[in-house]
Amino acid sequence: MAATDWRDYPALSNPDLTTVALRVPRGVICLLSALSFHELTTQVPHEVYVALSRGSEEPRIDSPPVRVFKFSELAFTEGIETHEVDGVPVQVYSPAKTVADCFKFRNKLGMDVAIEALKLYRKEPGFNVEGLMHFACVCRVENVMRPYVETLL
């Protein structure tokens, strides 16, 4: 039996996301990692940002580095999309939900990250202001986001 030559296989496009998806099956890729996945940031995440519902046990993963955020039940379940990455189903928040989440966690990420994400999302062909404001309500940041959204329209 011949040994497998790993060079014959295509390179993984995002091994950190697939690893986290397999090791944290109840988690959802969020915030900076979701922005990066949707190409809505110039930031490079040095950790995989993953959301868990409140009360969930923290994952025990040595590698890749993971940063966990706890979301309320409604904020956790709304806006989840499943994408296949390297043959693995990965749960990622939608672009609109991710932008709203960035405003919710603006004190941890920085307001500049949230505003950049909003500006880049505004240029996307799938931009939907009603959907964005729906997620702003879910995340309870409608009053914070409204002036920025109105400025961009």
Residue 103 forms part of a structural domain = yes
Residue 29 forms part of a structural domain = yes
Residue 4 forms part of a structural domain = no
Residue 8 forms part of a structural domain = no
Residues forming a β-bridge with 84: 89
Q: Is the pLDDT of residue 146 over 90?
A: yes
Residue 138 forms part of a structural domain = yes
pLDDT digits (tens, 9 = 90+) for 9-51: 455 467 889 999 999 999 999 999 999 999 999 988 899 999 9
- Integer Cα distance of 64 and 66 in angstroms: 6
Tokens 């500006």 correspond to 119
pTM greater than 0.75: yes
Q: Is the pLDDT of residue 5 over 60?
A: no
> How many independent structural domains does the chain possess?
1
- Integer Cα distance of 65 and 119 in angstroms: 28
Are 92 and 21 contacting, i.e. CB atoms less than 8 angstroms apart? Answer: no
| Mean pLDDT score, 64-69 | 93
Q: Which domain holds residue 134?
A: 13-152
Is residue 82 helix, strand or coil? strand
- Integer Cα distance of 44 and 98 in angstroms: 16
Give the chain's mean pLDDT: 89
Give Cα 98 distance to the centre of its chain: 6
Nearest one of 89, 83, 93, 79 to 131, comparing CA atoms: 79
Query: What confidence tier does 76 reach under pLDDT thresholds 50, 70, 90?
Result: very high
